[in-house]
Structure 1
Amino acid sequence: MSFDNIKGAAAAVNAVTNSLSLTALPNPEMDISLISNFQSEEEVTGKSVEKDEPEASLSLDNPTLETMTENLKEGGKKRIPNPGSSNSVLEILTVLGTSIKSETYRSSREVRNILDAGILNNRHIAVSIVSTKITLFSKAAIGAIRRLVHYYPSASLDAEHIELSSPYTLIAHCLKDLESFCAEVHETDATKAPNSTTVEDDVPSTPTCNKDTVEHLGILIDFVKEHVFKHKIEEEEKRHAQSLCTFRMLWLLFKPGDTVYVESGGRQVAYVVQSVQVDDSIMAPDRRRYDPYTITVWNLAFDGTFVRRANLKVYISHFEGERSITSLKVFPSTFLDQKDNCETRRKLEASGEKWYGLLRGAQMYYNGHIMSPSKGTLVGRVYIDSSSYYSQHGNGPDVGEVDDIGEGLAKCPCEQCHGRRPHPPVQFPWGKYDFLDPDVTESLVDEESPHGARHRYLICEGFVYGFVLKSKKWEKLDIECLLPPQPNLKAMESLVMPEDRKVMIKALVEKFSRVNHGKGSSKSWGADFIQNKGEECIAEFTGRALLSLTCGDIGTDEVVIEQRLSEWFRLAEKWGAVMLLDEADVFLERRQISDLKRNSLVSDFEVTMRAKKYILSQHALNEMEWNGREIRNIFQTAVALAEYRFSRKTDKTEFDGPVLDQQDFEQVCNMTQEFKQYLTNIRGNDEEERAGAHNDRFDDRVSGQ
């Protein structure tokens, strides 16, 4: 059979199936299946094709279209035996809906009577096309598709046979690549034996094809182009050139692996297409309404430890006529990029870069609406720490469950996969988009990415979790509303106190807040040096977050105080924050024999404070008889003054160093004495006298002996 004759036979088949679909059925009761088996002429005749014959040819295994009937039982169908021969290139299954009433217990005699009366040519039976499916058997064609299509999760490309359902989106999305592949036949393949391309072949870096591959792909391509797509793809692409689309061909916009924009909260967010679920009867000419499209996309999200890929499903309901592409809920990014000269793309890339940097934690200024269920507007300082939020509120979000690496694969225990996913094959294009540790991978720029160097920034999610320093609550925050904080470095100058005391405070602040270069965090410390405004000034001077706590934040139950206080200290240490314990005198009051609960409370508080070493002991400041502890504190403070003075020196050389002199000791001693006198004035007696009055200790000086 010549190629032209076979094309004519295929056209006849198409005409028959089209003639069967003139009557639309809203609820078909019985399906019949038409099976067409396509083979190359060489496989049918067992003879080689003459050189002057076309290289590709096909024939119908059964031109009369063998029909089978199958009953619908509660929505299920009986499986039809595969009639294809072992030499089949592909097989096409066309399912037609009929008006024959469905019966669960129809006898074989009744079925025979129905068949004898005829179905396709019976004017009393209405018939319509329900769906079609192609099963590809050719190993040569399957091997070529695997080489060309690197990402198409909805198709099982690793199976022995490839099944494609109408409207054959894989073929349409890759049609140009398949045609170009067939056109570039390399001379080096001429010496290869037929069917040399097999399922087990290794994947070469540059795809090549041979005679069998060209022939078998040609059969597939010619069928879908001439009998399925016809001119529909060309017509839809013309609409795309005008940024228009139709619902029936909407699937053509969403090729897996392409970047799309999804409308979310009045703005565009970038994602990557994973799959598009299409109504199987979308190409049927007699349908008037279709099921909604389900478009599965993914982007980069944070699970509390790693940046991973996260799924989202977007639905597009049926619409009539044409519609602007950029008015859809989801659309390819190229249409808006061309329209606004990539302004949206650059904005999202910058937003993603900010988002990724903030995963390490930082103090920021927020001005805008919060994204938490409580809504509302927030203006003020926040500390961004999504990992701490997830650790305090249970496990992180459900990310990393993008099932697109392959079917039936076990999770891999290697360091790259962490036992949480199958190991990606060599051809998998998204291996660098998973298990990204912000503390290890400093930048997401990838100059070798075929999607653009900053593509990973482009598809980052647009929110983080932050701790509002004023309300002491966690909130979900919009990344676009976060701004760098502007600390008031001159706030210390507004304090009403002697200048030398300001210098000492600055020296102590600088001494205790030096950065630990190992992890980028700061040495833990906190102090309430000055009443009222002092703590804000210290925070502003250091550019650090101010964590101001009261009894309500810590609690008054000795069972939970240590737990809460330890958690606050952990956050303060991680953030390098200035921590103010307001009303701390409640926890430091003198123990009383009659109040064991208070004694336990004070004891728990003091034990936690000493264990953590987060503040300077106020007891050391109260006892000024120049004991060993006081001498040590005075000496350390004097050293801090010397180092601070040296850090402000402008004419120092590499051989210079801090010099501790008499003025440093005098300044510290003077302030210590002033503090002692201040306590004596407001309490009427000094430390020893108060201790003697409470019978806490016996001194000769106190007793007057």
Structure 2
Amino acid sequence: MSKPTLERADSIDSFEEVNTKIIKASDPETGGILRVDGKVPSVLHVLKYMSFSDTVVECRQSLTPFKHFPQFKDKDSIDDVQIGEYGEDDDDKPVLDITYKISKPSNDYRRRDHGNPNERPITAAFDLNDFRYDDGDDEDEFQAAATSAPKPVITMNIHSKYLICALQAVISYYPRVNLQDAPVTIPAPYRLLYLHRAELAHFRDNQPKSHSPEYSEITARHIDVLLNFLAENMGEALTKEETLHKLDHPSATFDLFWLLLKPGQIVYGKRYGLWTPYVISAVRAGSSNTFKSYKVDCWYLESNGVFVKRYAETFRVQPWTGEQPISSLPIIPEGFWVENLAAQGGRTMREKCIEEGRLYWELLKKPTYMEYEGQLVNPSSGNGQCVGITGHLSGRVICDPVGFDRFYTASPDMNGSNRPSLNSSRTGSPAPPPLDHLPRSLPRCGCDACEKSRDPTQGNNGPYAEFRELDATRDIPPNSEVFYHVLAKVMPSFVRTVAVGHV
């Protein structure tokens, strides 16, 4: 069997290694693309040295990943390297390429956007310190950080229209990623793709009926190219981590904890000392090597005294060494919640939260008198400050969120303090993380055949289609268990005279 031959797209042979082509600014012709037996490989690795003006001054292309990166050096030539354009045919472009960029050190530090600092849920009245965990200094997943040589910034560029349409069909919730324009760019370590491997594998074997046999075959092949790359890229580390998740007492390592943090899924975190459901919005992964914590942006639903709306919160997860039981972590993915039916009234945690969410909605409709016996929530949440009575209460309470915003400062617990209204500006504290844009529709394949076969009379509403600002006194809530699941479980109430507490 003859050995595959390597070629440049312009048929000019120029190699320094068997499986690597090097393009320099001094080359007489620099527009070549690496080929094997006349075809661009399915996965192409591209190393680019960038100038201060962000132009390519040297480019290397390889069939295998780059593992060693020569030190960046000033290039003598002032000419830019002209990288060849991929063709439109499948043989003229890779399914995906992995681009490694090495640049001169830069001081381009960017700060994240923040949410509205003037918006607060009703229970924020009890937070004397207005303290937020999020300081906003970290880069997010899709904002490449500045780096100095020889460490490259690595991204995956997906060129296959078949694979892009498959991704559009399976990714239902992942803020701040563009799947509409080709190529689709995903930064390493490709968390978006690892979190949707199961969905891609299912789509590969269950494609829409509108796909022709040829289209289905190419789509399946390109999905396999991606899945094989992901498996080889992480290697045994991925298998070992997933084995930990399947133990009788599931565990996780810090560096790969993000495999359990999929945007759109529910996690439990403590709020006012109570385990509370949140929807994951975005994850900024940490590193045990640099002792950098995870920052997990989440949202929940609560009333501001008038409307039920989404509010964002950020959880920090500090580094740990070795393996840690998932149930011991400050945020616990819903699928790894350890049920305690005795403590949960004989219900699963999900059932309990949904039932309490429905009760919360009913209490918002009008001032309600209730007989209550039980513990009051400690609103200080461990910050050393506490407004409102705590401990055990047996007696009548009044749930009136509209009246609460008006009269809570008159409580004797406030000691005459002049706290601002819930809807006035917050000052002196970092703003919450920004709220993402909720996907209103279900994901679907964007290929021409699926677009043509689409029935305009059939809806495509997703689980968040009816999520908006809602007034419980006049609006109908969404027909969604997720709505009640993540709806607040803590209601500020008047007890006895005008003292306040959380029930």
Q: TM-score, normalised by structure 2?
A: 0.60
CA drift at 1:83: 6.5
Structure 1 or 2: larger helix share?
1
> What residue is the counterpart of 1:376 in the other structure?
389
> What residue is the counterpart of 2:469 in the other structure?
435
Deviations 1:640-669 (A, max 9, x none): xxxxxxxxxxxxxxxxxxxxxxxxxxxxxx
**How far apart in 1 are the matches of 2:226 and 2:160?**
10
Among 230, 244, 248, the alignment partner of 1:224 is 230
Paired residue type of 2:490: F
Contact 2:157–2:183 (8 Å) recurs in 1: yes
Q: 1:462 to 1:186 in 2, by over 3 A?
A: closer
Deviations 1:199-227 (A, max 9, x none): xxxxxxxxxx534433433333222221x
> What residue is the counterpart of 1:94 in the other structure?
100
CA drift at 1:177: 1.4
**How far apart in 2 are the matches of 1:251 and 1:2?**
44
**Residue 400 of structure 2 is aligned to residue 385 of structure 1:** yes
SS in 1 for 2:349: helix
Map of 1:238-253 to 2, 5 A cutoff?
A: 238-242=243-247, 243-253=250-260
Deviations 1:368-393 (A, max 9, x none): 43545324336543321112333566
**Residue 360 of structure 2 is aligned to residue 355 of structure 1:** yes
CA drift at 1:245: 0.5
**How far apart in 2 are the matches of 1:338 and 1:379?**
28
Map of 1:652-663 to 2, 5 A cutoff?
A: none
Contact 1:289–1:318 (8 Å) recurs in 2: no
List alignment gaps of at least 5 residues for structure 1: 7-12, 17-36, 47-55, 73-78, 105-125, 193-208, 407-424, 479-705
Q: 1:135 to 1:327 in 2, by over 3 A?
A: same
**How far apart in 1 are the matches of 2:220 and 2:82?**
29
Paired residue type of 2:202: S
Deviations 1:291-310 (A, max 9, x none): 21111111111123322222
Paired residue type of 2:205: A
**How far apart in 2 are the matches of 1:70 and 1:184?**
47
The higher-RCO structure (CA 8 Å, 6+ apart) is 2
CA drift at 1:178: 1.0
Paired residue type of 1:309: R
SS in 2 for 1:132: strand
Among 435, 438, 448, the alignment partner of 1:402 is 435
> What residue is the counterpart of 2:164 in the other structure?
142
Contact 1:39–1:89 (8 Å) recurs in 2: no
Structure 1 or 2: larger strand share?
2
> What residue is the counterpart of 1:588 in the other structure?
none
SS in 1 for 2:229: helix
SS in 2 for 1:431: coil
Contact 2:71–2:150 (8 Å) recurs in 1: no
Deviations 1:531-556 (A, max 9, x none): xxxxxxxxxxxxxxxxxxxxxxxxxx
**Residue 212 of structure 2 is aligned to residue 190 of structure 1:** yes
List alignment gaps of at least 5 residues for structure 2: 7-16, 21-31, 47-60, 75-79, 88-92, 108-147, 380-385, 408-419, 427-431, 440-458
> What residue is the counterpart of 1:210 in the other structure?
216
CA drift at 1:94: 2.8
Among 264, 270, 281, the alignment partner of 2:271 is 264
Paired residue type of 1:248: D
> What residue is the counterpart of 2:139 in the other structure?
none
What is the alpha-carbon root mean square deviation over aligned residues?
4.4
Q: 1:186 to 1:257 in 2, by over 3 A?
A: closer
> What residue is the counterpart of 2:429 in the other structure?
none
Number of matched pairs: 361
Contact 1:263–1:269 (8 Å) recurs in 2: yes
Q: 1:353 to 1:427 in 2, by over 3 A?
A: closer
Higher CA-based Rg? 1
Contact 1:308–1:400 (8 Å) recurs in 2: no
> What residue is the counterpart of 1:85 in the other structure?
86
**How far apart in 2 are the matches of 1:160 and 1:296?**
28
SS in 1 for 2:222: helix
CA drift at 1:172: 0.8
**How far apart in 2 are the matches of 1:461 and 1:4?**
62
Paired residue type of 2:310: R
Paired residue type of 1:455: V
Map of 1:16-31 to 2, 5 A cutoff?
A: none
Paired residue type of 2:317: I
Paired residue type of 1:63: S
Among 140, 162, 166, the alignment partner of 2:184 is 162
Paired residue type of 2:158: L
> What residue is the counterpart of 2:489 in the other structure?
462
**How far apart in 1 are the matches of 2:339 and 2:495?**
40
Contact 1:90–1:138 (8 Å) recurs in 2: yes
Q: 1:257 to 1:3 in 2, by over 3 A?
A: farther
**How far apart in 2 are the matches of 1:436 and 1:94?**
47
Deviations 1:459-480 (A, max 9, x none): 111222323342x24x3513xx
SS in 1 for 2:387: coil
Q: 1:219 to 1:39 in 2, by over 3 A?
A: farther
> What residue is the counterpart of 1:334 in the other structure?
335
**How far apart in 1 are the matches of 2:340 and 2:398?**
37
